[in-house]
Amino acid sequence: MVDVVVIGAGVVGCMIARDLSRFDLDVVVLEKEDDVGCGTSKANSAVIHAGYDAPPGTLKAEFNVRGDAMFDELCEELDIPFRRIGSLVVAVREDDMKELKKLLERGRDNGVSPLRIIGRSELLELVPNITSKAYAALYAPKAGIINPFELTIALAENAAENGVSFRFNSPVVDIGAGEDGALVVRTPHETYRSRFVVNAAGLFADEISRRAGAEPYTITPRKGEYLLFDKAYSDLNVVVFPTPTKISKGILVCPTIDGNLFIGPNSQDVEDKDDTSVTSEGIDEIIRGAKELIPDLPLGKVITSFAGLRAVSDNNDFIIEASRKVKGFVNVGGIQSPGLSSVPAIGERVVEILREEGLELKEKGDFRARRKRIPAFRELTNEERERLIQRDPAYGYVICRCETVTEGEIVEAIRRPVGARSLDAVKRRTRAGLGRCQGGFCSPRVIRILSRELDISPLQVTKGGKGSEILMGRTKEFIEPDGDHHAS
Amino acid sequence: MLEERKVTCVVCPIGCEITVKVKGKEILELSGYQCKRGTDYARAEVIEPKRVLTTTVRLENGHFLPVKTAEPIPKERIFDAIRELKDVEVKLPVKMGQVVHKNIVGSNVDVVATRSWVH
Amino acid sequence: MPARELVVIGGGPAGLSAAIEAKKLGVEDVLVIDRESEPGGILKQCIHPGFGLHVFKEELTGTEYAERQITEARDLGVEIMLDTMVIELTADRRILAVNSSDGLLELKAGAVILAMGCRERTRGAINIPGYRPAGIFTAGVAQYFMNVEGYIPGREVVILGSGDVGLIMARHLALEGARVKSVVEIMPYPSGLIRNVVQCLQDFDIPLLLNHTVVDIHGRDRVEGVTIAEVDQQKKPKLDTARHIACDTLLLSIGLIPENELSRMARVEIDGITGGPVVDQNMQTSVEGIFACGNVLHVHDVVDWVTIEARVAARGAAGFLRREKARRASTVQVTAGEGLRYVLPQKIDLGGELEETQKFFMRSLRPMDRARLLVRSDKGVVMSRTLRSVRPSEMISIKVKREILEQKGHLEISLHEGSERGA
């Protein structure tokens, strides 16, 4: 019997888990994938929005503004990089200005500050290579960028350090009422009994809600594709949005906190909740859209493309409420943009809801709020590097050339709570394999390290969980003793 | 039976397409060549094509050692040679050039190490 | 900061060839730095023949070529530092490297030869749509897994790109019992050597599809297949010709990019077409004392030419080192000793124009009624003068004979109160 089961280890589920870990509770997070943050959390624009976009009165608006204000302290506690570089909504067409003024007013209604409309000359100072058609922009100097996966893993690590259990490869197949008012949650391998279940299952939150017999709603996956550019060709220092349309904020040109540039996302409803394929039409669309903002993009320096799916609910707003139908079941669904920006506020509200629903919240005396990130060799001074290598020589062995990631960091990423167990998990925690050669030099070495640390054969090392093993056999294994191969 | 075979010569980058008229094992006529190396190659390709086989074989320490046949062997026996080498295990240390398997597929050609390996 | 005479960054065929030649040309201190645990670079995974026809007059495998060079380098006394990554290079030839036993290493090099080789173009470079499953490799990485680590990357393989690496991999895979279903090439002709098309594809009945490319990759966890299509004159896929090939592995052999991050860091000018440094006939880059050779300079297809090129770079570097040594030996440093604020000029270039006598200008630190001015060389006092009424506000000048300067070394000029010599 546990106190809370959280379904989904995306950024929302991990935030809730971390907030709950402040209290004397038995919390389990069930995740169907092999690692945290494998859904929308790892494939989004990574922007902490100022909050002028969502209509006042919506949960989106309320949580965006509240969440945004909580980010600085959260990132400081979790030791993750976060930069408020500002954002621009650029006007290029004549009636774009009307939209900008609407957004300005909306922003003011939502309590966003500072926020103002700037003219072309100030725009040029911020983005010297902005399209010649741009004549004005809505400038929110405090909008921020973050690494959403880094946030997710930091939350999960901190939660785990404070006692939360994480179960991977554990999809919830059934939720029902048990005796004495508890809910019974079943995965293929285990059964949990819990008074409270928080549904943070992202794209699948509607199915979980239905399965539990709670309020029905529909989540429609809406795909957004992205192109990522080589760091050496990225010197933009502000987030550039186009004037938004009815369904999306549009195709951005945006720096990442790690120094790359990306363009995207487009916006396309899809059928399949697992369809994260990149399409050639999508690539063309985001290039066209991005060029309308910044015509000279380093298109020859794309290092990779990817796609994420937004979880769009049928009322187009967040669903954050205790179920009236199933006691103890809390829905946290439809968290699409500005979901990331709202995350700390969502965690805060869910804890409140659970308290109102009867969960006893006794503060832990030994809650460890602070978490230290894995030392990043590439960011340290030479003195710090020298000290680190003396403490652990593995920090002197560079594994990933493009991002200068050392063996020490990779081993640390594997050994920590909620540690990496696959190539992609190592990549997301350390950046090894994210650079311009996309793992060409480092992946054999990372496989060797994973094999050694996890005590498995290199043949068992996966890209991102079972079924994605990288290597298929040992040399000589496929040679048939009396096969019918022949040279012609 | 008269046959006309086309052979792409690989001796030099020109890559002449040499046509060989052959009856059984007897070469009747060659055309399309530009030099003697080409005709030699085309003759061999048609009568008895040979290839140097390069592959790896297992070492006693679990790693794999790159090896080659010291001379070309009949092309049609390549896979037999591969099969014959499948379960060979070479003891350490090995020196580059050392014979690690004798008389592959009865061709009188030995298989030699193409690098040294100490341990 | 320790000074090394010649530092070669990269211990593959380019670096080793340069190091060997430098030694033969008389450079005494040659250090090769390589990031792997064995030297040889890309040759370690080239178990196939086709190497050495010009340099060794024999046909060798890549591994044999490498071993011959490693042995020769070691015999000549080249120092090879392994498992070491160079992370910084400056224009004044300061190198920052790191390994786990020495930690951080800072070196000042007399001359540097860049031999870092190249990396492979990845899927992102050509934006192949689809999923990102396991089973997509660049051909070189697959070759490394097979020939160095001993693992087979896949059983049913499609290869995109008919460059030599892709063709060689087709044969490696076939010989290991894997099935290569097709080599797909966007151009109307294969980009690798004809020899390889014959001996890697035709020998094994592997179809070569010209004028085609991969337009989609299927499979979420592992590759399940690819969609290929014919391309038009503008290399755009004609989607009505699309067809599916089931496979579990896609190898990409779509080009090589010289690896010039360190070069850029050192402000070496890069040629936009080759992707490598701009060099003169001695392989010297736009930064004095920094030379380049091999794949880092431009992509090669025959290793013998890499060796020839590396020898030119070594000759260039050796020449540079000789001239620098001569220049240092022919510079006299002049310093202000006791009693003087400064002396000008501070150095004499013996390689330049020299008069019969050289005038030096200086200022005293304080007023002196009578003072003794001394000029000292490495051998002792070579000149002295008595001066009266010395004031800091009044410039002092002396003439020093050329013969004194030609003795080289170091001169110190000092001023002492009174008529006594020295202190």
Structural contact between residues C311 and C18, judged by C-beta atoms closer than 8 angstroms: yes
- For residue C325, the surrounding DSSP H or E stretch is helix C303-329
Q: What per-residue confidence (pLDDT) applies to C125? A: 83
Of B51, B78, B86, the CB nearest to A476: B86
**Average pLDDT, rounded, for chain A:** 94
3-state SS track over chain A: CEEEEEECCCHHHHHHHHHHCCECCCEEEECCCCCCCCCHHHCCCCEECCCCCCCCCCHHHHHHHHHHHHHHHHHHHHCCCEECCCEEEEECCCCHHHHHHHHHHHHHHHCCCCCEEEEHHHHHHHCCCCCCCCCEEEEECCCEEECHHHHHHHHHHHHHHCCCEEECCCCCCEEEECHHHCEEEECCCCEEEEEEEEECCHHHHHHHHHHHCCCCCCEEEEEEEEEEECHHHCCCCCEEEECCCCCCCCCEEEECCCCCEEEECCCEECCCCCCCCECHHHHHHHHHHHHCCCCCCCHHHEEEEEEEEEEEECCCCCEEEECCCCCCEEEEECCCCCHHHHHHHHHHHHHHHHHHCCCCCCECCCCCCCCCCCCCHHHCCHHHHHHHHHHCHHHHCEEECCCCEEHHHHHHHHHCCCCCCCHHHHHHHHCCCCCCCCCCCCHHHHHHHHHHHCCCCHHHCECCCCCCECCCEECCCCCCCCCCCCCC
Q: Of residues A49, A189, A485, A486, which has the active-site annotation?
A: A49
Fill in the amino acid letter for C291: F
Q: Mean pLDDT, to the nearest integer, of A351-376?
A: 96
- For residue C168, the surrounding DSSP H or E stretch is helix C164-175
Which residues of B fall within a CB distance of 8 Å from C194? 8, 10, 13, 15
Cβ–Cβ gap C64/B114 under 8 Å: yes
Structural contact between residues C169 and C142, judged by C-beta atoms closer than 8 angstroms: yes
Q: Residue A358: pLDDT above 60?
A: yes
Structure tokens at C413: 């000029």
Work out the percent of chain C whose per-residue pLDDT is above 70. Answer: 99
| DSSP label of C359 | E
Q: Mean pLDDT, to the nearest integer, of A466-473?
A: 96
**Where does C92-205 show beta strands of DSSP type E?**
94-99, 103-114, 118-120, 136-138, 151-152, 156-160, 179-184
> CA-CA distance, C327 to C337, in Å (whole number)?
25
Structure tokens at C45: 């995974």
Q: What per-residue confidence (pLDDT) applies to B14? A: 74
Of C122, C129, C150, the CB nearest to A440: C122
Q: What per-residue confidence (pLDDT) applies to C330? A: 84
- For residue B43, the surrounding DSSP H or E stretch is helix B36-47
CA distance to partner chain B, nearest, from residue A407 (Å): 23
Fill in the amino acid letter for A24: D
Work out the percent of chain A whose per-residue pLDDT is above 90. Answer: 91
Q: What per-residue confidence (pLDDT) applies to A488? A: 47
CA distance to partner chain C, nearest, from residue B47 (Å): 15
pLDDT in tens, C283-297: 999 999 999 999 999
Structure ipTM: 0.91
CA distance to partner chain B, nearest, from residue A263 (Å): 45
Structure tokens at C375: 């000029």
Q: What per-residue confidence (pLDDT) applies to C419? A: 64
Place of tokens 């046509």: B19
Q: Three-state SS for C86?
A: strand
pLDDT in tens, A80-104: 999 999 999 999 999 999 999 999 9
Cβ–Cβ gap A440/C178 under 8 Å: no
Which residues of C fall within a CB distance of 8 Å from B63? 150
CA distance to partner chain A, nearest, from residue B103 (Å): 19
Select from A285, B83, A72, A103 the least CA-distant residue to C175: B83
pLDDT in tens, C83-139: 999 999 999 999 999 999 999 999 999 999 999 999 999 998 888 999 999 999 999
Q: Mean pLDDT, to the nearest integer, of A128-146?
A: 96
Q: What per-residue confidence (pLDDT) applies to C423? A: 44
pLDDT in tens, C207-262: 999 999 999 999 999 999 999 999 999 999 999 999 999 999 999 999 999 999 99
Select from A439, A484, A487 the least CA-distant residue to A463: A439
Cβ–Cβ gap A305/C98 under 8 Å: no
Structural contact between residues A211 and A303, judged by C-beta atoms closer than 8 angstroms: no
CA distance to partner chain A, nearest, from residue B94 (Å): 19
State yes or no: is A486 an active-site residue: no
Q: Mean pLDDT, to the nearest integer, of A370-396?
A: 96
Cβ–Cβ contact B13 with C under 8 A = yes
Does the N-terminal peptide bond of residue A265 adopt cis geometry, omega within 30 degrees of 0?
yes
pLDDT in tens, C325-352: 888 778 899 999 999 999 999 999 887 7
> CA-CA distance, A355 to A214, in Å (whole number)?
19
Per the DSSP assignment, residues forming a β-bridge with C231 are C237
Which residues of A fall within a CB distance of 8 Å from C127? 227, 278, 280, 283, 302, 305
Cβ–Cβ gap B83/A475 under 8 Å: no
Nearest CA in chain B to A480: B83
Q: Of chain A residues 418-457, which have a CB less than 8 A from chain C?
A: 436-441, 443-444, 448
Q: What per-residue confidence (pLDDT) applies to C124? A: 84
> CA-CA distance, A175 to A323, in Å (whole number)?
14
Q: What per-residue confidence (pLDDT) applies to C420? A: 56
Q: What per-residue confidence (pLDDT) applies to A484? A: 57
Q: What per-residue confidence (pLDDT) applies to C126? A: 87
**Average pLDDT, rounded, for chain C:** 94
Cβ–Cβ contact C56 with A under 8 A = no
pLDDT in tens, C30-68: 999 999 999 999 999 999 999 999 999 999 999 999 999
Determine the straight-line distance between the first and last CA of chain A, rounded to whole angstroms: 67
Cβ–Cβ gap B78/A479 under 8 Å: no
Q: What per-residue confidence (pLDDT) applies to C206? A: 97
Which residues of A fall within a CB distance of 8 Å from C131? 276-277
- Characterize the bridge pairing of strands A136-140 and A144-146: unpaired
> Which residues, including other chains, have CB under 8 Å from residue A169's CB and lie 6 or more apart?
A31, A32, A33, A34, A465, A466
> CA-CA distance, C142 to C197, in Å (whole number)?
19
What's the Cα-to-Cα distance from C314 to each of C16, C216, C267, C295, C310, rounded to whole Å?
A: 10, 46, 21, 15, 6
Cβ–Cβ gap A472/C120 under 8 Å: no
Q: What per-residue confidence (pLDDT) applies to A472? A: 97
- For residue B5, the surrounding DSSP H or E stretch is strand B2-8
Nearest CA in chain A to B83: A481
> CA-CA distance, A459 to A469, in Å (whole number)?
7
Q: Residue C375: pLDDT above 70?
A: yes
User: Where does the pLDDT of residue A436 fall: very low under 50, low under 70, confident under 90, or very high at 90 and above?
Assistant: confident
Of B54, B56, B115, the CB nearest to C49: B54
Hey, which chains touch C, using 3+ CB pairs under 8 Å?
A, B
Nearest CA in chain A to B64: A475
Hey, which chains touch B, using 3+ CB pairs under 8 Å?
A, C
Cβ–Cβ gap A438/C124 under 8 Å: yes
CA distance to partner chain C, nearest, from residue B114 (Å): 5
Name the phi and psi angles at A103, rounded to 5: -65, -40
Structure tokens at A478: 């496929």
Of C124, C134, C216, the CB nearest to A469: C134
Q: Mean pLDDT, to the nearest integer, of A366-373?
A: 96
Packing angle of the helix pair C303-329, C13-24 (nearest 10 deg): 40
Which residues of A fall within a CB distance of 8 Å from B76? 486-487
Cβ–Cβ contact C177 with A under 8 A = yes
Cβ–Cβ gap B86/A481 under 8 Å: yes
> Which residues, including other chains, have CB under 8 Å from residue B112's CB and lie 6 or more apart?
B67, B68, B69, B70, B97, B98, B99, B100
Cβ–Cβ contact A477 with C under 8 A = yes
**Side-chain-facing half-sphere of C233: CA atoms under 13 Å:** 0
Q: What per-residue confidence (pLDDT) applies to C284? A: 98
Which residues of B fall within a CB distance of 8 Å from C49? 52, 54, 68
Fill in the amino acid letter for A264: G
> CA-CA distance, C203 to C69, in Å (whole number)?
32
Cβ–Cβ contact A471 with C under 8 A = yes
